[in-house]
Structure 1
Amino acid sequence: MTSAIHRDLDAIDPNDSRGFNGARLSATVILVRDDRGKLEVWAQERVVTMRNYPGMTVFPGGGVDPRDFPPRSWDSGNLWTGPSVVSVARRMGVTKYKAHALVFAALREVFEESGTLLVVNDEGDLIRDAHMFHDYREQLETHAAAFSDLLHDNALRVNADLIRPWSRWVGTSSAGNRFDTFFFIAYAPPGQEPDGDSGETDDAGWFPPGLLLDGWRAGLVRLAAPTYAQLKRLARHNSVAGVMADADYSDMRPVIGDPVDDERYREYFTTTPTNRIGPKYDIGEPLRPDTPDTLS
């Protein structure tokens, strides 16, 4: 690795909190599990009052909050275990300052939206019952607390082994907001069961990826292009082990705008499913390509 890249990874600029071409950084978590010999993914249908992607089937996620960034430096100290922030940053192609924020945002969002807490205790053990942290979940949703508060107050730590970079998409949301979204893969912890107890979710559950794709083709499920792309990739696998092995070889170069010429997504851009679930909501214009500038 060149010294220039090392300097970029070591750069810590509290004002540098934007993504590709100034887009807002966001993180999405794809929870997966094995169920009776097949792979399932946790998906949720957004309420129709949401500004971005109303009524669409998505994975838990959202924008990076300023408090997801480290307060003084990139070093998370006793809040981080597993692969170092530096190694995660290299894997993602961003500064370690941003890698810290994206991982914290991913873990915060999946806890807020599904009640799944992907952290370990001070002995390194997975949390098997997240209900005791319900008050923190509510505080995170209302921005009354930061994810680091939950960790500090309860002697919990992030384990970067539990959440792996999967893909990166850059584009404009249904409401015209520009996002640089990092998708992560995570295995649902034993003993924890996700829920749809969130003001952003109308319905949620576990589904085989292929079933959601079939639902989209039948006009029963609404998907944005990035969600379709992740489901199609997941549908190639029959187990969590296969997905995690695939994650180790993820191409983290950003997909910019609508990849209409990419053969992998041709079906999405050439298919107009019959609408079988009532009036369409205003999901906005398709993603528009941005002019390449910087990856972070």
Structure 2
Amino acid sequence: MSEAVVGYEGAKLAVTVVMVRDTEHGLEVYVQERVSSMPTFPNATVFPGGGVDSRDVDATDDESIWFGPTPDQWSQVLGTDRRKARALVMAAGRELFEESGTLLASHLDGSLIADATPYHSQRLALESHRLSFSQVLKRNDLVARSDLLHPCSRWVSPEEDAVKFDMYSFIAQLPDGQEPDGCTREAASTGWFSPSLILDGWRAGLLRLVIPTWAHLLLLSQHDTVASLLAALENPVIEPVLGNPVDDPRYAEFFNYTPPNRLNV
């Protein structure tokens, strides 16, 4: 078993994947409403994601299941070491597959997965830790596509939080032919929505957002297409946002506005 990797000042290392697509009505993002029994962020509207674990670290030396920017290149972009960078990318691919059934992978000939449903039977084994993402890839002669992930941000939980996360966020465009589903025990509902519509729902008190999700939605709402969004992230600077950035004018609305309580939870 590999030694665990940890985040900023010992925080739990985590990932989230902001999955987007183009529609005739503009850019849409895939979100989940977490079930009320979740120990962290219950009932919140979030993106697919979760903690990095030993399975992701164990895959760090296997080059046969990797295509795209190298771990060394990812380490430069993410501002971390090679081992941690690769674990983050593998965790992002695993969490997205576990929680949405979306597979950022290709066959050995380089052709992208256009239909991920033949592999869905292995999602439960991933969730129960009976399989690692690397094992799923190997068993099916697949390769993880790191080029389908685009680094976006890094948020570190406030000191007062009982559970502290060091969360790296990635943008991923929905692969052609694939369609995510809500077959995850962590979500009460899932779906595609306009980022602006989700923000309006928060303002109306119809859904709950945490600051990293709100900030990502604000970014997405400024773009009409996936191409425009990815162009804005072409040369990202991944500096950690530490705690609650209450003095940052970009996030003033989140900290200065209190939505009405219409959730009854």
TM-score range, shorter chain: over 0.9
Q: Deviations over 1:17-48 (max 9, x none)?
A: 11111111001000000010400000010000
CA contact 2:36–2:42 (8 Å) conserved in 1: yes
Partner of 1:36: 24
- Please state if 1:76 is matched with 2:62: yes
* % same residue: 47
Report the secondary structure of 2:157's partner residue: strand
Q: How does 1:64-103 map to 2 (within 5 A)?
A: 64-71=52-59, 74-103=60-89
Normalised TM-score (structure 2): 0.96
- When normalised by structure 1's length, the TM-score is 0.86
CA RMSD of superposed structures (Å): 1.5
For residues 176 and 231 of structure 2, what CA distance do their matches in structure 1 show? Answer: 20
- What do residues 235-274 of structure 1 show as CA deviations (whole Å, max 9, x unaligned)? 1100010111122232200000000000000100001000
Gapped regions of structure 2 (runs ≥ 5): none
| Structure 1 residues 1-296: aligned runs within 5 Å | 14-15=2-3, 17-71=5-59, 74-172=60-158, 176-279=162-265
Alpha-carbon distance in structure 2 between the residues aligned to 1:256 and 1:112:
28
Which is further off, 166-175 or 232-241?
166-175
Distance change (3 Å), C-alpha of 1:203 and 1:174: farther
Q: Deviation of residue 221 (structure 1)?
A: 1.3
Gapped regions of structure 1 (runs ≥ 5): 1-13, 280-296
User: 1:61-109, CA deviations, whole angstroms, 9 ceiling, x for partnerless residues?
Assistant: 00001110145xx443111111111111100101110011111111111
What is the CA–CA distance in structure 1 between the aligned matches of 2:3 and 2:53, rounded to whole Å? 13
User: Runs in 1 of length 4+ with deviation above 6 angstroms?
Assistant: none
* Cα deviation, residue 15, structure 1: 3.4
Letter in 1 for 2:181: D
Partner SS state of residue 166, structure 1: strand
**In 2: Cα distance, 1:147 partner to 1:274 partner:** 41
Evaluate the alpha carbon distance shift between residue 248 and residue 75 of structure 1 in structure 2; reply closer, same or farther with a 3 A threshold.
Answer: farther
How many pairs align? 264
